[in-house]
């Protein structure tokens, strides 16, 4: 965590560099492959979020409900789009629902979805979400097992009418070997493709260290943090 308010020119340079690389990577896939950038603000000062908004960035992600809430409060004057991207504890579900995030990217079990459905029904609200897949089968990571992902996705779609499932999310394998990282992205992308008929439109993969690779594997939403705030 840096205590660093970056000046506008610095943030402009960082943002431009990331956007150019996204652009190059997506055009290598196809001119029709559009990629959305969600800026992950968890490491940075709230002032930098406001500056990024001035530079044209609208979608921001946080991995903790509490921090999401304080930032939504502090920046309530700006028409920002907020994404919850972190592991969600059951006792935070009500707080999260009250914040009406644009997208909860981290539904990581059927159990969590069912619990969320109950709370959504009680409040008469709906929520858009992604199913998180642990495509590298890493113990340290949240997400459903790739072998069960399609089933769980369909079960959530059937049993949770208040949750609008829009696709899948993965964190790339946490290793140096690019081939293994690529495999993990391909695993998630294959599941995404198999869920197209179930309404999946978002394949969220790629962070600062691997977003170009993720795009080449079919990601259409990248979550970039540290590359913007150095
Ligand atoms: C922190 C985080 C990111 C961004 O990570 P960087 O490597 O800083 O770009 C993306 N996705 C999730 C789920 C995160 O927790």
Provide the number of structural domains found in the chain: 1
Give the C-alpha separation, 120 to 177, whole Å: 41
Ligand 1 centre from 109 Cα, in Å? 20
Report if residue 27 sits inside a domain: yes
Q: Is 182 in the pocket of ligand 1 (CB under 6 A)?
A: no
Report if residue 42 sits inside a domain: yes
Q: Is 86 in the pocket of ligand 1 (CB under 6 A)?
A: yes
End-to-end CA gap in the chain:
11
Q: What is the CATH number of the domain that holds 146?
A: 3.20.20.10
Report if residue 151 sits inside a domain: yes
Report if residue 34 sits inside a domain: yes
Q: What is the pLDDT along the chain (230 residues), one digit of tens a residue?
A: 445 899 999 999 999 999 999 999 999 999 999 999 999 989 899 999 999 999 999 999 999 999 999 999 999 999 999 999 999 999 999 999 999 999 999 999 999 999 999 999 999 999 999 999 999 988 888 999 999 999 999 999 999 999 999 999 999 999 999 999 999 999 999 999 999 999 999 999 999 999 999 999 999 999 999 999 98
Q: Across the chain, where does the E strand assignment appear? A: 36-40, 59-62, 81-84, 103-107, 127-132, 163-170, 202-205, 221-224
Q: Which residues neighbour 121 within 8 Å (Cβ) at sequence distance 6 or greater? A: 162
Residue 169 and residue 133 in contact, taking contact as beta carbons nearer than 8 Å: yes
Segments forming the whole domain that contains residue 55: 8-224
Residues 79-103: tens digit of each pLDDT: 999 999 999 999 999 999 999 999 9
Ligand 1 centre from 100 Cα, in Å? 21
Q: What is the pLDDT of residue 1?
A: 47
Residue 148 main-chain phi, psi, to 5 deg: -105, -5
Token digits of residue 59: 């979608």
Give bridge partners of residue 60 from the DSSP assignment.
Answer: 39, 82
pTM of the predicted model over 0.95: yes
Report if residue 64 sits inside a domain: yes
Q: Is 130 in the pocket of ligand 1 (CB under 6 A)?
A: no
CA torsion 116→202→88→95, rounded to 10°? -60
Report if residue 102 sits inside a domain: yes
Report if residue 1 sits inside a domain: no
Q: What is the CA radius of gyration of the chain?
A: 17
Report if residue 171 sits inside a domain: yes
């Amino acid at each position: 965590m840096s205590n660093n308010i970056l000046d506008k020119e610095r943030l402009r340079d960082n943002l431009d560099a990331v956007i150019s690389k996204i652009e190059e990577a997506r055009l290598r896939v196809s001119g029709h492959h559009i990629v959305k950038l969600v800026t992950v603000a968890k490491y940075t000062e709230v002032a930098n979020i406001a500056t990024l908004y001035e530079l044209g960035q609208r979608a921001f992600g946080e991995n903790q409900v509490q921090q999401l809430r304080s930032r939504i409060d502090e920046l309530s004057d700006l028409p920002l789009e907020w994404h919850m991207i972190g592991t969600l504890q059951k006792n935070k579900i009500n707080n999260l629902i009250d914040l009406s995030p644009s997208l909860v990217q981290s539904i990581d079990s059927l159990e969590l979805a069912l619990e969320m459905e109950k709370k959504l029904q009680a409040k008469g609200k709906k929520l858009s979400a992604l199913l998180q897949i642990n495509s590298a089968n890493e113990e340290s990571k949240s997400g459903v097992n790739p072998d069960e992902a399609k089933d769980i996705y369909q079960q959530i779609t059937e049993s949770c009418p208040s949750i609008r499932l829009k696709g899948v999310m993965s964190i790339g394998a946490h290793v140096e070997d690019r081939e293994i990282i690529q495999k993990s992205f391909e695993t998630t992308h294959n599941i995404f493709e198999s869920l197209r008929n179930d309404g999946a439109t978002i394949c969220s993969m790629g962070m600062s260290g691997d977003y170009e690779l993720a795009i080449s594997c079919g990601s259409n939403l990248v979550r970039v943090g540290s590359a913007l705030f150095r």
